[in-house]
Structures are given as structure tokens and as C-alpha cells.
Structure 1
Amino acid sequence: MKQYKFVDLFAGCGGLSLGLQQAGFTPWFVNEIVEQFCNTYKFNHNLSDDHYFVGDIAELNLHLEGYKDMLSDITLVCGGPPCQGFSMANRQRILD
């Protein structure tokens, strides 16, 4: 049976990946900038440390060649939406 591997960018602590796992996908490579969030992801998923990149995605792009073999058989690339409490998008002034 084919394994459907995915890359989880802006992964947070893994909420999006949980839904993808329930749909039959397997997390394969994870990028998260906040180490504490990534540690929670690691706690909840069975991946070795070499399947994680903790840091800015711009830095990951500079080192993609080093992950070439790991990323050769990927079915899906997903990117988590920003958490509402942390997002700077659509900030509206609250008068109250």
C-alpha cells in the first residue's frame, strides 16, 4: 500500500497534520519557527529529529539541497493558517 507523505509548513503544534493523518496522510517533514510549538508537535508525532526544521522558512529555503532525498517522494505540501491570536493580518481597531 502506498504511503502518502506530506510536508507540514508553518506547522504550529500539529493541528492541521492531525486532520491530514485522519484522512490517510503521513507527516514526513515539518517546519515551524517557534521551538516550543515544534516540541509539542514532536511529542504528538512519531518522527525523528531529522524530519524537522525549526526556524524561519526563508532559512530552510537556503538549505533545501540538504533535504533533497527526504523530500523526493512527497504527495502533499500544506501550510497552516496563522493562529488568530498571533496573526497581524486583518487587524481591526477595536474602540471598546
Structure 2
Amino acid sequence: MAQFDRNRWRHHSEIASSININLKELFDNEKATFDTLVASRNYNGIIRRYPIRESQILNSIVRELGLSREDYEGMVRKLIINNIEVKNLMKNKLQKLTDFLEN
């Protein structure tokens, strides 16, 4: 069994007690960044900064719809395949990526 080292513990607690994080400042800065992206209609910037797959929003959506995430994603894919307007919208949004991959 490992022995308790009081001096080592004291050192770590001193380090931890010196950390100061201003959550209000972090929040205010992030909100300002978000508001700027929205005001400038920089949707690509919003998507890059706040990727949906890394957030809990998809879990909330599927829970409210009563679906599994796999079913929801399958329905979205089916919508893109079957709805010409949505398909064209997605093609336009992904055109730069498509051009890059094809060249």
C-alpha cells in the first residue's frame, strides 16, 4: 500500500489553490465571438467553432423526437437523397470540398 506523503499533497494543494479562472470573462468573450459570427452571417465560422457532432444538441433532438441517433441520421440522409431542393442545397454547401477532392 502506498504511503501518504503529506509534503507532496501540500505542494499539489498549493498549486491548485493558485489557479484562478474567471468564468464570467470566458463566457462573455465566447458570447461576443458567437454574436459577431451571427451578426456577420458567418455560418461557416459558426459551424467550425461549434461543431454539432461534438455538442449535445443531436442527443437532445433525437430524445425529443423519440428516435435513436442512428435513425435520425438515416432520416436526414434519406431527406437529402429524396428531396431535390435539399439535395441541391447540400451540393452547393459542399461544392468547395467536392472540387478540392476531385482535383
| Both proteins in one fold, TM over 0.5 | no
Per the normalisation by structure 1, the TM-score is 0.20
**Structure number with higher helix proportion:** 2
Structure index of larger Rg: 2
TM-score (norm 2): 0.19
Structure with bigger strand share is 1
